[in-house]
């Protein structure tokens, strides 16, 4: 994947709000030492998180408390 776009990510995420939330959580995990789930050369943490979401390696979990 040469360039990751918002549209690539929105194919796997229901809304832009959810995308921002997922990406922020994943960036935090990566910075705390989590393994990167897609191979790419020297990208920033935010770009790596978006690449993982676009590749459908990160999925949105539904909150069990909401009905």
> Residue 46 is encoded by which pair of tokens?
């935010």
Report the SS3 class of residue 1.
coil
Question: What is residue 66's predicted lDDT score, i.e. its pLDDT?
Answer: 63
Question: What is residue 54's predicted lDDT score, i.e. its pLDDT?
Answer: 93
Query: Each residue of 39-62: pLDDT tens digit?
Result: 877 889 999 999 999 999 988 877
Per CATH, the homologous superfamily of domain 6-54 is RNA polymerase subunit, RPB6/omega (3.90.940.10)
Query: Each residue of 8-43: pLDDT tens digit?
Result: 999 999 999 999 999 999 999 999 999 999 987 788
Handedness of CA 13, 23, 1, 38 (dihedral sign): negative
Indicate the pLDDT class of residue 1, thresholds 50, 70 and 90. low
Would you say how long the chain is, in residues? 67
């Amino acid at each position: 994947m040469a360039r990751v776009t918002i549209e690539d990510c929105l194919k796997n995420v229901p809304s832009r709000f959810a995308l921002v939330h997922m990406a922020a959580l994943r960036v935090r995990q990566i910075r705390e030492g989590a393994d990167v789930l897609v191979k790419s050369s020297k990208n920033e943490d935010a770009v790596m998180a978006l690449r993982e979401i676009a590749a459908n390696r990160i999925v949105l979990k539904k909150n069990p408390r909401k009905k």
